Structure 1
């Protein structure tokens, strides 16, 4: 039997009592390890994190906790090669895609360590200046942000086992809030290994970081009023979480990142072969193929002027045709696997749904795989669909169905106003990217689409080499989105700390406020 990964709860490593759920290599089909949480005393684990881990973290100042993050970063930097091996085996990603996850997580952790160091010896955060409560300045109100006296529970998605952990854990730990992470079962190995390395190195106080691998059963039942919950996953699961008594009755603060039909929009001033046109083509292909399209920020809908639809379809198809798919261990392969055969079947079913209202412009699903058996490997070449010969306004599936894989749909528009309306039919997205060379039109469109996106990424020829990418989530900027995308907010620099703090107004004399 393969190795059973341990959980870390109540300050000690613990094995589940069941046989465990197997994790597989999505290319070769081999069983790698197993995870199991059966029989764990969750109440004990949550209490230990709150009481022991929370107290130890709150006793530290922001600068001290920032130094703790730096120490954790150094531990993991020394283990990067091992993390890459795990990611290739368990997620089926090529090296460049592995770097997006592993290096992205470590970069975010390091960035919060730097920002935290600048907060120095503070124990809480001031929220604005004190204000008078009367005509005289004798009695005033000062708003403060103090660390919440609970735990932060993370229920994470399968696509980013490294970044998904550290982009949440970094601001939580910096805030002084202990973390319990439940990684998605399919790719839990990398998360567990990183947590194990950090805990075994002794750079965090006991109870500051815990991990439960396997079933999430019972985790939400343990949440109390001062705890916080962050979930990344499907809208269906998010709906269950929102209705759970922990949220509905005990008012546990919740942050959700769910489905998102992100867009790329080429403005009318572009021409075939122009820099803006080429930038759109390059970015769309990158977003369709990085991590096999398994990114919550990946481009799903591409909007181009009606007159450019044919040229865009041809340019995208030609570039997608160069994508080699298969075993990520082969250096000629540019795109690896979907996370497992179940996800492979889900993507195929999603494509079938879209094909009811769109035509196939490029079908990479039939291309031969490199060093992989198509009967075993969860590999699927990129598929581009289009609505050019269909009823664009009536193609509801394009705006309603998110296919979480290397799939996108090209949609023509007649006017910029129609393009804005089509983007908004996504009902709330994490990100839309704009391409063009007219600064005024781009600025106006960015403001117009800001209400339905968490982030608007504007790409012009002058930033061709400098922009950070449509789908790359930088810790400096907000990550989240309204409506269908979950309505949550993460990152955004030190704004991320707000989720892990409680705001209170202290009303007192000037003398008392001066002592705070």
Structure 2
């Protein structure tokens, strides 16, 4: 399915979202405005700022709905999920435009994301029946049965950077497993995520999907509630640590998908131009605000000069502006905090004496004061110990580190507290795989830093070290939301 061009600057009334609790929409006294990060005078909508009491009501509704939903068959869930996917696809244009306006992603990125979100609902169906089928083992004149059961109520907290796909990646497997859910999107980009969940709620039984938009109070209330049996959070490590401390009080099971500082190791036999093109496509996607994107590049000294030249030329071709304007390939940062963080990194880099190139061209520069815009940059002579190499920048700055031997590059790639994704670049597949096997990360991609369609479906998405706990996507994504229940059936003596 393709998305057609729409008049994206036509006047649009701001969306007014309400709480969704037990199948009913409710107003909330407190509200939060959502503004377009490219045009801050454009109020895209507003969301409720849920109170602890309202979160408690949502969790109670989920708890009431969970037993009946958990008793449905895999076939029933699969049919409902196909209807959800159809409904998302039928609204794809509107959802993609909404995503651009609230999130700042380029439209082609938002278009792919909404269709990817729809496909997730279909893909869980491919695994569901087998995973939910109990396994029986003969045991004397009795038998042993091992089966999977849902947790009951799952809390899902999703971030602002890729809200459509990340919402689907959480709630589709959680619901497929038979849980009821309470969703809290990020207040920085809540509208598209809420739309995806609203579509699901309109098709599933009342109370199976509940939405409580809001800020810190709503999130803390979800984490602290004893009826939440599993909590799935995507975001930053500091917040995850806080959640884990709170979850310890109730021994709530947690799933975390956190940050990454993904290395790209370039071997000495690559086609430099083709490699640079693909690395740039990953590193500057969503203005660099992606957990699994190239964050640092290791280049052999023999190729360094050519690689730098090609990189500068390729990044300089990026056009920055309102992603609803024709020809724009990179939008703004999503929020003021991210913009200030990246500006601070650039200022420190420029003060350090490193060779920093601020590149790209501005589209409609006279409007830049109305949004969170920043141009892409590369650091051509970064060193392993530099801040920009050692930390996750989560923005459009790419450091290049030159290495003298492959052992050094592998050691540097692993010298991080993160271990989400990584990539190795070489036309020699076996050689690349040998290097990939030594990288400390949950995922490694050869000759790209983006997954194929099969990879998106089958690879468990997650990381080592401080990049997370647990996995999303693939059959393992459903298993995160199931727990074992076993029987050992014996005869009376």
TM-score (norm 2): 0.89
Equivalent position to 1:113, from 125, 128, 140: 125
**Residue 21 of structure 1 aligns with which residue?**
32
Stretches (4+) displaced over 6 A:
470-473
CA distance in 2 between counterparts of 1:334 and 1:471 reads 23
CA distance in 1 between counterparts of 2:353 and 2:257 reads 27
CA distance in 2 between counterparts of 1:456 and 1:269 reads 19
Mapped pair 1:144 → 2:147: yes
Superposed displacement of residue 384, structure 1: 0.9
Q: Superposed, which structure 2 residues align to 1:180-199 within 5 Å?
A: 180-199=182-201
Superposed CA offset, 1:486-512 (max 9, x none): 233111x21112111112332234x89
Question: Is the partner of 2:416 in helix, strand or coil?
Answer: coil
Mapped pair 1:80 → 2:96: no
Q: Superposed, which structure 2 residues align to 1:10-409 within 5 Å?
A: 10-18=22-30, 20-30=31-41, 31-39=43-51, 40-52=53-65, 54-116=66-128, 119=130, 124-126=132-134, 130=137, 137-138=140-141, 141-148=144-151, 150-199=152-201, 202-217=202-217, 218-224=220-226, 227-244=229-246, 247-270=247-270, 274=271, 277-355=272-350, 359-364=354-359, 367-370=361-364, 373-387=367-381, 392-393=383-384, 395-409=385-399
- Contact 1:355-1:385 at 8 Å conserved across structures: no
CA distance in 2 between counterparts of 1:480 and 1:445 reads 20
Superposed displacement of residue 85, structure 1: 1.9
Superposed displacement of residue 99, structure 1: 1.9
CA distance in 1 between counterparts of 2:235 and 2:194 reads 19
CA distance in 1 between counterparts of 2:405 and 2:237 reads 31
Superposed displacement of residue 298, structure 1: 1.2
Superposed displacement of residue 44, structure 1: 2.3
- Contact 2:173-2:478 at 8 Å conserved across structures: yes
- Contact 2:63-2:227 at 8 Å conserved across structures: no
Are residues 65 and 3 of structure 1, via their aligned partners in 2, closer, same or farther at CA, if it must alter by over 3 Å? closer
**Residue 479 of structure 2 aligns with which residue?**
498
**Residue 10 of structure 2 aligns with which residue?**
none
- Contact 2:145-2:487 at 8 Å conserved across structures: yes
CA distance in 2 between counterparts of 1:255 and 1:67 reads 27
**Residue 405 of structure 2 aligns with which residue?**
415
Show structure 2 runs of 5+ residues with no match: 1-12
- Contact 2:22-2:58 at 8 Å conserved across structures: yes
Superposed CA offset, 1:322-346 (max 9, x none): 1111122222111112112332112
- Contact 2:156-2:233 at 8 Å conserved across structures: yes
- Contact 1:16-1:38 at 8 Å conserved across structures: yes
Are residues 159 and 480 of structure 1, via their aligned partners in 2, closer, same or farther at CA, if it must alter by over 3 Å? same
- Contact 2:32-2:49 at 8 Å conserved across structures: no
Are residues 69 and 373 of structure 1, via their aligned partners in 2, closer, same or farther at CA, if it must alter by over 3 Å? same
Superposed CA offset, 1:67-89 (max 9, x none): 11111111121111111221121
Moved more, 40-49 or 214-223: 214-223
CA distance in 2 between counterparts of 1:407 and 1:45 reads 41
Superposed displacement of residue 195, structure 1: 2.5
Superposed displacement of residue 471, structure 1: 12
CA distance in 1 between counterparts of 2:82 and 2:364 reads 40
Show structure 1 runs of 5+ residues with no match: none
Question: Is the partner of 1:474 in helix, strand or coil?
Answer: helix
CA distance in 1 between counterparts of 2:273 and 2:316 reads 16
Moved more, 232-241 or 439-448: 439-448
Superposed CA offset, 1:439-487 (max 9, x none): 33212112111xx21111012xxxx8xx954899713211110112123
CA distance in 2 between counterparts of 1:355 and 1:479 reads 35
Superposed displacement of residue 431, structure 1: 0.7
Question: Is the partner of 2:444 in helix, strand or coil?
Answer: strand
CA distance in 2 between counterparts of 1:258 and 1:298 reads 13
TM-score (norm 1): 0.86
Superposed CA offset, 1:22-73 (max 9, x none): 1111111122222223445322221210122x12311211121111111111
Q: CA RMSD in A?
A: 2.6
Superposed CA offset, 1:182-203 (max 9, x none): 000011111222333343xx41
